[in-house]
Structure 1
Amino acid sequence: MFKVLQKSVGPASLSLLTFRVYTAPKQDSPLKNSMKVDKLSLYSVPEGQSKHMEEPRTQLEEGISHLVQWGLDSYENLQNAPPGFFPRLGIIGFAGVVGLLFTRGSKLKKLVYPPGFMGLVASIYYSQQAIMFIQVSGEKLHDWGLRGYIVIEDLWKENFQKPGNVKSSPGNK
């Protein structure tokens, strides 16, 4: 055991000692290759060669900056909340919990009831915003319905209404 300690403590204790090393130029060597400190490129800045160009933001950086800005705006809105905001928020959240209580046994109900109850209670408190939301959503649903109708109509015309492309029916043999 003592030998192990002696072999490990010896080099460790030598690492704690400090030594100063002084050097001097040889008397017979000429100083032809010496340079002044300000001539070294490490200490001087090249003029006119460097130009700072900022790289464009990536999509990830843009997304993170939007997320951070949304968080800061939300924090500021919560700090300066209008009177009665937090009780309303509590009641809307409670409506979501009540919606969860009614969802026993069905996964579809778990997806529909809590947001539906919360939306219903929120529409009571914020009726103008609910009306605007319903109008915009209705317009979007109408547009999606028209697009779907057009796609189905085009598919129907391509496959079933081409001349000469009449499908054989059981009566035509």
Structure 2
Amino acid sequence: MMSGIVFAATKDKSNVTVVNIDELSLYTTPKQKLLFVKTENGQLEQGVATIRQTVEPYATWCQQSVHSAVGKVQGTYEKVKPKVESIIQFGTDSYAYLKNPPPEFYPRAGTIGFTGFLGIFLARGSRVKRLIYPTGLMAISTSLYYPQPAATIAKSSGDYVYDLALQGYVAMENVFKPASKLAVEKSVNEEGLAPETKPE
């Protein structure tokens, strides 16, 4: 592509020759004759390929199972994490409270514990009494020392007990309802007609 002037040292200095760069041995590269020969698969390679083709569906199934299990674990972790954090926070707060308690805390705790033991002593003979007496006496003594939280807990538990009683009443009413009323209501629901009502 380019031509250059090369000065050769000769006895006759008047003779100058022009040589192309490709003609110089420094810039030329010999042409390589490469031939790609594809090697045939041996018995080992064929065995490995067969095993891979056989195992591939199971490996895919295992990967999908692992991904779904990891997703479920992460979802469960996201649900459980706030609860665990709240329990840890409650534990730290309780430890800090018990480390520096107010001066009246231990006498109150002793009184509440004593009423629990008194309830166990009074509840001899029945398992129901063993459950009700200690719990009831401890609740009463706790409500004497902490009236405001006791009122809040009593209100919320009262609403809960009322809802449970109402659900139980409705369930019992459905069980003991006379068969004639059930038959009339069933026929009304099937035919879409309203039952005749008699004026009182």
Deviation, 1:152, is: 3.0
Compared CA separation, residues 129 and 164, structure 1 to 2 (3 A): closer
SS of equivalent residue, structure 1 residue 146: helix
Counterpart for residue 132 of structure 2:
112
Q: 1:58 aligns with which of 69, 76, 80?
A: 76
Is 1:143 equivalent to 2:163 in the alignment?
Answer: yes
Q: Give the number of the structure with larger relative contact order, counting CA–CA contacts within 8 Å between residues 6 or more apart.
A: 1
**Is 1:102 equivalent to 2:128 in the alignment?**
no
Distance change in 2, residues 1:68/1:94 (3 Å): same
C-alpha displacement of 1:70: 2.5
Alignment of 1:34-49 (within 5 A): none
Deviations 1:41-78 (Å, cap 9, x if unpaired)? Answer: xxxxxxxxxxxxxx836359635444333322211222
Root-mean-square deviation (Å): 3.0
Identity %: 37
Deviations 1:9-34 (CA, angstroms, capped at 9, x unpaired) = xxxxxxxxxxxxxxxxxxxxxxxxxx
Query: Which digits, 9 at most, give the CA deviation of each residue in 1:139-173, with x for residues without a partner?
Result: 111111122223333445595523369xxxxxxxx
Q: What stretches of structure 2 of length at least 5 have no aligned partner?
A: 1-72, 186-200
Q: Secondary structure at the match of 1:104?
A: coil
Change over 3 Å in CA distance of 1:155–1:84 after alignment to 2 = same
* Bigger fraction of residues in helix: 2
Q: Helix, strand or coil: the match of 1:119?
A: helix
Q: For residues 175 and 139 of structure 2, what CA distance do their matches in structure 1 show?
A: 37
Q: Which runs of 5+ in 1 are unaligned?
A: 1-54, 166-173
Secondary structure at the counterpart of residue 102 of structure 2: coil
Q: Deviations over 1:101-153 (max 9, x none)?
A: 11222222111111111111111111122222222221111111122223333
1:82 aligns with 2:102: yes
**Is 2:145 the counterpart of 1:125?**
yes
